[in-house]
Amino acid sequence: MGRLLDDAQIAAFDRDGVLAIEGFVGPEALAELRQRANDIVDAWEPTAAATVFTTEDQQRRSNDEFLSSGGRIWCFLEEGAVDAEGHLTRDKSLAVNKIGHAQHDLDDVFERFSYTDDLAGVASDIGLSDAVALQSMYIFKQPGIGGEVSCHQDVTFLYTDPLSVTGFWFAVEDATLDNGCLWAAPGRHRDPLRRQFRRRGDNDAGTEFVDLDPTPLPAAPDDLVPLEVPAGTLVVLDGRLPHWSDVNRSPKSRHAYTLHCISAGADYPDWNWLQRGEDMPLRRLDRSDR
């Protein structure tokens, strides 16, 4: 397979820990992915105890739905779409925060979108030649209520030894300052890992944050730069790079799809919150394990 990135792009990613590649995905593939995400929501029937995805780290909820979603397709609600009694305050099509976390392996449309030679080529070019797909999220960033995602490092939540997690973030719609685009701290991927998000045991035992380094993360948004990108852009994020997104206060959604990959050769501890059963092994992006 030939290289997908040129020398300047590889150098920029090594320097900054982030790289935006415009035009990586065409409009037809984006439309198919968005329609499939909408179909999944249409078919989903929320229960009275449906999980609200809390985007503030210190309040992050870890119920059974969340902790068992590593091998499932599940819908998580926005905080602003649920009243004090747990009832939806709007149509469910405008209430879902995200779909996660295994649709890349369990749904044909998401699988075709995720496992491509081009994406495997990008991963290889940045040094992740044995990338396996660990987790996927379709993020809706709903108009007016799409929640803030606090500044964080992805490796906090998806730890490997050695560190290897890399985020592949696809703009399904234009991402702007108005609708809650990503912000990042270029060059700060060389910072230490601040903390880990760990299981205490089985699902009933919940989770906890373990502090590792007292260095504060960059202050949002003052210490970050916005990543305004058009639909079809692929943003590659080093797992240690601090990044953030604001509340979507606009009348326009900001749909995005994220695939997190790790090295097949790295150790993935069983205290990571996201776990799969032995009947669902991780698969390589380059499809060499098929």
Residue 55 has pLDDT above 50, yes or no: no
Domain-embedded: residue 288 = no
pLDDT at site 57: 45
The CATH number of whichever domain residue 156 belongs to comes to 2.60.120.620
Would you say residue 116 lies in a domain? Answer: yes
* Structural domain contains residue 285: no
pLDDT of 188-217, one tens digit each? 999 999 999 999 877 777 899 999 999 999
Q: What is the pTM of this model?
A: 0.93
**Residue 146, domain member (yes or no):** yes
Residue 258 has pLDDT above 70, yes or no: yes
Q: Is residue 4 part of a domain?
A: no
As a whole number of Å, the CA-based R_g of the chain is 18
| DSSP secondary structure, 33-92, as one string | HHHHHHHHHHH----TTPPB---SGGG----HHHHTGGGSEEEEE-GGGB-TTS-BSS-G
In a domain, 286, yes or no: no
11-51 pLDDT, tens digit each: 999 999 999 999 999 999 999 999 999 999 999 987 644 55
What's the token pair of residue 248? 């979507």
For residue 76, the enclosing domain spans 9-277
pLDDT digits (tens, 9 = 90+) for 89-148: 889 999 999 999 999 999 999 999 999 999 999 999 999 999 999 999 999 999 999 999
> Residue 283: inside a domain, yes or no?
no
Residue 66 lies in a domain: yes
Number of domains present in the structure of the chain: 1
Q: Does residue 60 or residue 153 have the better pLDDT?
A: 153
